[in-house]
């Protein structure tokens, strides 16, 4: 048994796959402690051929599966997971690459802390990446109060024993949000979450060839992904502050964008349909505690959604952003400080 099975689901991944695989082979943890399980999901650009060529010459044990296109990332990941033999698994997207010490540092953290999930610091390359959770290393993060709940992508280190014991797999019927569902379940049912923040473990690459694998499709898929994530949270957390802290994530990340400025450009019937899809979620999970955890503008927009008022929602979207009034300008503050210093000096002189 090796330490880490690196699972790579690849679709039309050339030439980015080259650096991806090189980053795994060059890991400081050593080739004898890792394996690669790569699944070509029906590529036509030479991805499958390159995987086989790399496997033939790599010092890292590597298995390659070539299959017909499954329609999403969940299928290849599940295939890779079924073949993995490591104590841990790491899901690496074929467009991206690892920092040289990534696996060594994440395995060391998991072994030391005894946790089942480890987040390694992510840096965006030609694209944005999450930043709020990388302030410091954390052996055991509070999944409720901390920002780790906002990073639910699959690019993390998972203890394989947890996944096997719980029979965890990616939901292949979902075309968006399947990784959030998988990761949140591991957060909730696993033995803790750690954060490696003092080293860039993962480079999230923005492709410049127009083939970036992004979450697309009908807006109805977004509402479905929000619903199943909310149901998962509700299944494992009873009503109360902890549930509300976790519910902030699907409300803020998944639902709120559906009621952003885009609705001002869409047909009225689409907005009404969105409100219809949101209604049962708002009825079930929108609480005063959740509302208080959002910013003012976000809270107002979602309150309009909860009320089913498209007219008020549009007014909220069109309202100008009002900056808080500052009672004193900088010049006035400087003058006040200067006058205070003069008064203090006079007082000392008088004494």
Residues marked active site are found at 179
CA distances from 134 to 35, 114, 120, 196, 197 (A): 27, 20, 9, 8, 5
Tell me the C-alpha distance between 276 and 196, whole Å. Answer: 41
Q: What is the 3-state secondary structure (H, E, C) of the chain?
A: CCCEEEEEEECCCCCHHHHHHHHHHCCCCCHHHEEEEEEEECCCCCHHHHHHHHHHHCCCCEEEEEECCCCCCHHHHHHHHHHCCCCEEEEEECCCEECCCHHHHHHHHHHHHCCCEEEEEEEEECCCCCCCCCCCCECCCCCCCCHHHHCCCCCCEEEHHHHHHHCCCCCCCCCCCHHHHHHHHHHHHCCCEEEEEEEEEEEEECCCCCCCCCCCCCHHHHHHHHHHHHHHHHHHCCCCHHHHHHHHHHHHHHHHHHHCHHHHCCCHHHHHHHHHHHHHHHHHHCCHHHHHCCCHHHHHHHHHHHHCCHHHHHHHHHCCCCCCCCCCCHHHHHHHHHHHHHHHHHHHHHC
Tell me the C-alpha distance between 313 and 341, whole Å. Answer: 51
């Amino acid at each position: 048994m090796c330490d880490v099975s690196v699972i790579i689901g690849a679709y039309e991944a050339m030439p980015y796959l080259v650096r991806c695989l090189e980053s795994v082979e060059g890991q400081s943890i050593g080739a004898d402690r890792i394996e690669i399980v790569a699944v070509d999901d029906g590529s036509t650009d030479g991805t499958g051929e390159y995987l086989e060529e790399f496997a033939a010459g790599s010092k890292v044990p590597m298995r390659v599966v070539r299959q017909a296109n499954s329609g999403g990332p969940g299928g290849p990941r599940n295939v890779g997971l079924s073949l993995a033999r490591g104590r841990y698994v790491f899901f690496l997207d074929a467009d991206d690459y690892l920092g040289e010490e990534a696996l060594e540092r994440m395995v060391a953290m998991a072994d030391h802390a005894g946790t089942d999930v480890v987040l390694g610091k992510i840096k965006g390359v030609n694209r944005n990446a999450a930043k709020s959770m990388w302030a410091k290393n954390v052996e055991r993060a509070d999944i409720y109060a901390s920002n780790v709940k906002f990073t639910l992508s699959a690019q993390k280190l998972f203890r394989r024993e947890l996944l096997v014991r719980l029979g965890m797999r990616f939901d292949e019927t979902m075309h968006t949000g399947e990784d959030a569902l998988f990761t949140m379940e591991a957060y909730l049912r696993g033995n803790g979450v750690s954060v490696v923040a003092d080293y860039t473990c993962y480079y999230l690459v923005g492709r410049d060839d127009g083939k970036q694998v992004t979450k697309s499709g009908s807006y109805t898929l977004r509402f479905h992904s929000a619903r199943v994530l909310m149901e998962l949270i509700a299944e494992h957390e009873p009503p109360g502050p902890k549930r509300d802290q976790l519910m902030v994530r699907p409300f803020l990340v998944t639902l709120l964008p559906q009621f952003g400025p885009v609705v001002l450009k869409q047909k009225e019937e689409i907005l009404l349909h969105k409100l219809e899809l949101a209604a049962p979620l708002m009825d079930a999970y929108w609480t005063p505690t959740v509302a208080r955890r959002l910013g003012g503008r976000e809270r107002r927009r979602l309150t309009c959604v909860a009320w089913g008022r498209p007219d008020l929602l549009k007014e909220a979207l069109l309202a100008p952003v009002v900056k808080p009034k500052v009672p004193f300008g900088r010049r006035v503050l400087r003058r006040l400080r200067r006058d205070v210093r003069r008064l203090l000096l006079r007082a000392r002189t008088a004494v």
